[in-house]
Amino acid sequence: MVKPSDQPIYQLKITLKGARPPIWRRVQVPSDITLAKLHKIIQLAMGWYNCHLHEFEVQGQTYGQPMPEYDFDVLNEQRIRLNQFVTREKFKFSYLYDMGDGWDHDVLVEKILAPDPDTRYPVCVKGKRACPPEDCGGVWGYAELLEVLRDPNHSEHDEMLEWVGGPFDSEAFDLDEANRQLKRVR
């Protein structure tokens, strides 16, 4: 039997598609985690609030939380582990969060590593830029929001500033905070 500490570690680069400049996180996760756990990791590393539906698409197959009563028919993400389909480095799949705003992410397996006995996984090792605010309308709405926030003379500036909760730095990413959040993953 393989001890959990002997499981390979996947280094994943999670990139928000369509965001310019790019918004991304680099995380290291045990290869045997479920897609359900990876969903939690992506939410916490990116800075999302986990208040919308999501799905993974892997080689044409869709996984998520089945909700047939809402016509959300996907395979159960709790029953599939990363190492069941990741066969090599450079393997790519997608993660969609919030079907309305359409926050589509590319997930790239950058490296397959030996576990470090001194590291608690999952861990975020790097990232760039702030996560967009929830419900701002996808990458296009986010671009418009940033335009309004940059222009204090814009007619909607004060309203949008209040909506985001005060000054918003689109370049900010707090690696320590991302890792504090990831410590909640069990």
* Chain mean pLDDT for the chain: 95
Q: 109-132 as b/e, with b when 16 or more CB fall inside 10 Å?
A: beebeebeeeeebbbbeebebbbb
Could you give the CA distance from residue 7 to residue 166 in angstroms, rounded to a whole number? 43
Residue 74 is part of a domain; what is its CATH number?
3.10.290.30
Residue 2 pLDDT > 50? no
Confidence of residue 72 (pLDDT cuts 50, 70, 90): confident
Its pTM stands at 0.95
Sequence-ordered list of residues with C-beta below 8 angstroms from that of 165, at least 6 positions apart, any chain: none
How far does Cα 179 stand from its chain's mean position?
13
Confidence of residue 3 (pLDDT cuts 50, 70, 90): very low
Does residue 143 sit within a domain? no
Domain that holds residue 178: 6-130+171-182
Does residue 46 sit within a domain? yes
Confidence of residue 70 (pLDDT cuts 50, 70, 90): confident
Does residue 154 sit within a domain? no
Reported as a single tens digit per residue, the pLDDT across 39-62 is 999 999 999 999 999 999 999 999
Does residue 58 sit within a domain? yes
Q: Please tell me the predicted confidence (pLDDT) of residue 5.
A: 60
Reported as a single tens digit per residue, the pLDDT across 4-35 is 568 999 999 999 999 999 999 999 999 999 99
Q: Please tell me the predicted confidence (pLDDT) of residue 1.
A: 37
pLDDT > 90 fraction of the chain, expressed in percent and rounded: 91
Does residue 25 sit within a domain? yes
Domain count, the chain: 1
Across the range 157-184, mean pLDDT stands at: 97
